[in-house]
Structure 1
Amino acid sequence: MLDLAKLARQLPGISQHLQHEAGAGRQRLERAAQLQLAADARRAELRAVQQEWRDRLFFTAAEPTEPLGTRVPVVPPPTAHSVFATDGSQISPSHHEIAYCYLINIGRVMLHYGQNLFPLLDSLPEVFYRPEDLNESRQWGIRTEEWLGYRRTVSEAQALAEMACRWVNPPGAHPGPSLALLDGSLVFWFLESLPSGARDRLLIPILSAWEQLRAARIPLAGYLSASRSSEALNFLRLQACPYPVPNCSQHCSDASDRLPCQRVHPLRDATFWQELLQPGERGPLWRSSARVLDWYDERSRVYFCYLHVGTEIARVDLPAWVAEDAKLLDRTLGIVLAQVHKGFGYPVALAEAHNQAVVRGGDRARFFALLEQQMIRAGLQNVGTSYKEARKRGSIA
């Protein structure tokens, strides 16, 4: 039980800390604005330096493909368009349950605007219980619970491509513009720490699903709310570097606390662009330089921009084939912004996909009750949870 009386005595300290941070944050914003102006004047030079010294940098800096002061009003979407979205949830395996298995539930949403068509809102559950599924990740030293989250990411991409491509490619159909939306970044940072076999097992089907969308001319976007990325601001560190060349391994290998180029740390991209963009505007387009993208094919390299959606600054990730097509980019961002407005601050398709996917406590209990019935019908004996789990559920404390 939480002791609120004891907790209340600690809250004044939090308030004082936040007040101090607000003043320091304003100073960081001013320094970042100065660095941005200087870096914009040297943008071509800094890009060349970044490409030459990328392997010696201690940080990941995105590469701007437009002037740093770019502010582009987002055009409204076509009246008739469709939006596809998926999101996932899961039931993790537990040795204390009646059976060691896990479940992935993918929520699917298809919304049509200006077309007088019914929407689709449903979910696709899949249970994994075979030894080859439960033990697949152990060959790479990855815990089953961790692998479950990775598998869910793959399932979300595959379900999105299957749903969207099936809709836009029926015989004799001529659907209007569309957009496929995923919740989160298209840069899968978790792949960086995985062995090559595990990485291929996950990345290849994801990129295959993206390729299906590209072939069907359905733009793909990843939407990040409350992004904590500093990938764009890290480009300003090249301007702030006090050395002739940004050779971090040579000049800063013995830095104990903070590198001399971290003049605006811990300022985030979204906080900085909050000061520059007006509602309905996007900032410059960036090409991500994350090393994990070296395993992507060139058409799937990830670009991103920051979009002022009215309630916040959102990061929108795009594959290269969308970002490099000006008309497709404008249409994609227009539909994203319209989705946020319809969802009162968050894309309505993603919110509904989450609602379809989420597995609540009652759903979990019903799943295991159904599984228990099936096990008893199959003649299995001693079906039940562990004593620990049974005692926790029936606690008298």
Structure 2
Amino acid sequence: MSLEFNKILDQIAKMSSMIEALDFDARERLQLALRRYDNLPDINAIQERIELVRQSDISGYRGAVPLDGDVAEPMNAIFATPQLPPSATILAADGSQVYPNEQHPVHYYLINIGLYIYHHGADLLPEQSTIPQLAYHKSDVHDRGRVVSNRTVDARRTLNEMQALSDLAWERRGAARPLVALYDNRLLYWVSSDVTGAEEIVRQYQDALKKLHDSQATLAGYLDRPVSRLVMRLLYLMSLRDAAEIKEKQLELQTAGDLSGLTDRQLFDTVLRPGERSALMVQNSPRNLSFKEFGDDYEIAFFYLKVSSGYRTSIARVDVPMWVARDARAIDELHALLVSQASMQGRNPYPYALTRADEIAVVSSTDKRKLDEMINIELRKKHIEPYRGSAKDFGKVLARSSKRRMERRRN
């Protein structure tokens, strides 16, 4: 039986009315955010407020803060696209996975990493490769007698991506400079406590960052259409009168108070023109502090960037480690190269090298079926009955295929 749409028409109409009201409210809050952004005080005034919320009797601020020292940029500064470097080597990494099936007679999972090298300014063909890894040993796929969770596989894939990128950067450290390493995710990485070996995964991830630093690579994590509210929280914080009001409204600091519901992307989509970036900022959070404690060069900074394909635009958040953030030339080169890369795909404003890394990393449904077939052949050789799916799943397949046959006959 198909969904009876006539029974939800009224609900859809009510939802539409609610969306209209929410949209009006969001426009009002965006105008408020724009006024506060335009009127942000100087770096010293913002730093004084940040020091206040870092005191032990105040908690809850997880927003943006300026960089320290000579590299600090005015928080409402806007930077045009710099000149492209004459040459560059752009590395990109992405990954995909096949999760373990608890009902399968042999438990395993697959992680496939795609690597892509783009030679900017040189008459060289791009290079690509993949690193497929099949995990099947009991110590890899089991944790306290149970198959490892999908979240654990995701965490291991993230680690493998960063390790593969760091290995490639080290291997190509003699290539044309700048050596730009692009990663399709945030750099401020953490894993939940229910992930098997969480602390070791984070430790190895940070070791991979160190290898990228040793390679003198310009590392960047690229987040398309980000949903973060780091600048919104800063704007709300700076709107509060004094320490007494800040203490009173600690809970509101977490949600950006009267700017709650707005994202940084909405602000910068209005503020930035194509090719422009925001100021460099740092996230005030215990997780970022732990990266700084690993080494001052490993604290994560970020900026917002408006890229364009010529047909449409998109706001991205670009994460960079502090060794990149402190290097004005590296930031300019990265800025220009990302704008260039995002203009190369027709209607899709997204870095070309990251798109290609994603394409070669993907494990398709056809690939997965082939993998299952190959493993099942080996199981039969060992006289082990391969997994054929549950009776419930088989029943669904039969029912749906019968329904499709009936519909074809009627048509």
Task: Spell out, residue by residue over 1:229-270, the C-alpha distance to the aligned partner (whole angstroms, 9 max, x if none).
Answer: 00122111222225534654xx247x7x99896121111101
- The alpha-carbon deviation at position 326 of structure 1 amounts to 0.3
Q: Within 5 A, what are the aligned runs for 1:229-244?
A: 229-244=228-243
AA aligned to 1:51 is: E
Task: Determine which of 375, 378, 387 is the counterpart of 1:374.
Answer: 378
Q: Within 5 A, what are the aligned runs for 1:36-185?
A: 36-38=37-39, 40-41=40-41, 43-54=43-54, 55=56, 56-65=58-67, 66-136=73-143, 138=144, 144-169=149-174, 174-185=175-186
Q: Is the 8 A contact 2:104 2:386 kept in 1?
A: no
What is the TM-score normalised by the length of structure 2? 0.85
Worse-matched range after superposition: 106-115 or 326-335: 106-115
Q: Within 5 A, what are the aligned runs for 1:243-258?
A: 243-245=242-244, 247-248=246-247, 251-252=248-249
Q: Is the 8 A contact 2:218 2:334 kept in 1?
A: yes
Q: Within 5 A, what are the aligned runs for 1:258-297?
A: 262-296=257-291, 297=294
Q: Is the 8 A contact 2:88 2:179 kept in 1?
A: yes
Which structure 2 residue ranges, 5 or more long, are not aligned?
A: 68-72, 401-411
3-state SS of paired residue (1:176): coil
3-state SS of paired residue (1:24): helix
Which structure 1 residue ranges, 5 or more long, are not aligned?
A: none
Change (3 A) 1:9 1:195: closer
What is the TM-score normalised by the length of structure 1? 0.88
Cα RMSD over matched residues? 2.7
AA aligned to 1:28 is: R
3-state SS of paired residue (1:208): helix
Q: Distance in 2 between matches of 1:314 and 1:260?
A: 21
Q: Is the 8 A contact 1:302 1:320 kept in 2?
A: yes
Number of residue pairs the alignment of both structures matches: 383
Q: Distance in 1 between matches of 2:270 and 2:289?
A: 33
Q: Distance in 1 between matches of 2:75 and 2:113?
A: 38
Q: Is the 8 A contact 2:49 2:238 kept in 1?
A: no
Is structure 2 residue 55 aligned with structure 1 residue 23?
A: no
Change (3 A) 1:259 1:203: closer
Task: Determine which of 309, 314, 326 is the counterpart of 1:312.
Answer: 314
Higher relative contact order (CA 8 A, sep 6+): 1
Q: Match for residue 341 of structure 2?
A: 339
Q: Distance in 2 between matches of 1:196 and 1:363?
A: 27
- The alpha-carbon deviation at position 135 of structure 1 amounts to 2.5
Q: Is the 8 A contact 1:81 1:176 kept in 2?
A: yes
Worse-matched range after superposition: 286-295 or 383-392: 383-392
Q: Distance in 1 between matches of 2:42 and 2:169?
A: 42
